Amino acid sequence: MNIGFMQGRLVNSEKKNLLQYFPAQQWKKEIILSEKIGFKILEWTINYENINRNHLYNFNKNKDLLKFLPYHSISIPSITCDFFMQKPFFKSKKFQSSLRDLIRVIELSKKVGVKFIILPLVDNSTIDNAEQENTLIKELKKVSKFLNNNQKILFEIDYPPNKIIPFLKKFNKKFGINYDTGNSASLGFDFNEEKKYFKFVHNVHIKDRIFRGQSVRLGKGDFNFKEFFVYLKKIKYKGNLILQTARSKKHINEIILNRNFIKNFI
């Protein structure tokens, strides 16, 4: 199990009211900082606001990323597509552009070796009814042809555990699950039920939340990390653990503290 972090956690947020935001002016600085404290994995993030400034969306800026990465020992195995949550195409025809943007991100991400395209189906993009689900499935099946053989689309979804496998069976093998420890705690899901779909989990977001509440420092919320890591060892989980933890004013100290918390279990 490799520990990485969510982009933007080591620098000041450029959008003060958002926990997660692409640091357009600080992404190079953050990679350099992450190297100094021993991280080798970063999960990229893309918001709709100022999307043209994002190096995994803009073709011209992508060249800058490709020139920078070879000089640093950091890899980008996954992208969280927050833009997909902000404009869910399956809820409104006016959001159809998010499908084209998703294809664009998939194509550009291949250049830096991204394996997992993470689509949030929570909060603003939660699936509300069967019609929305059918639209989502129909269109994403078309999008999947743009993935290469090493890539998958992973859903971060708020469906109850017993609905996950029936949902995934409607897709091909290019789809899977991104498990989020904080969302599980907040929604009050039973981990014994969640285990049933873990063969489909290829990436894990690590955070802690209070039941029906906000994110807090790891160990201060309602997620049972001890039980979780006992199970990951049992199934020999080899995927990444991405720190998507609560923020504090001391970014580096906070991420190190949370990393050490996880290291105690693995």
Write out the DSSP string of 139-184. Answer: HHHHHGGGS-TT-EEEEEE-S-HHHHHHHHTTS-TTEEEEEEHHHH
**DSSP at 106:** H
Residue 50's pLDDT is 87
* Cβ(223)–Cβ(187) below 8 Å: no
Residue 30's pLDDT is 95
Mean per-residue pLDDT over the chain, rounded:
94
Residue 38's pLDDT is 94
Residue entry with tokens 């890899």: 75
pLDDT at 13 over 90: no
pLDDT cut 70: percent of the chain above it? 99
pLDDT tens-digit profile of 198-209? 999 999 999 999
Q: Domain residues for 46? A: 2-263
pLDDT at 93 over 90: no
Tell me the pTM. Answer: 0.95
Instruction: Please tell me the total count of domains within the chain.
Output: 1
Helix (H) or strand (E) holding 189: none
Distance CA 88, CA 199 (A): 27
CATH number of the domain within which 86 lies: 3.20.20.150
pLDDT at 67 over 90: yes
What is the pLDDT confidence band of residue 17, given thresholds at 50, 70 and 90? low
pLDDT tens-digit profile of 117-160? 999 999 999 999 999 999 999 999 999 999 999 999 999 999 99
Distance CA 44, CA 27 (A): 10
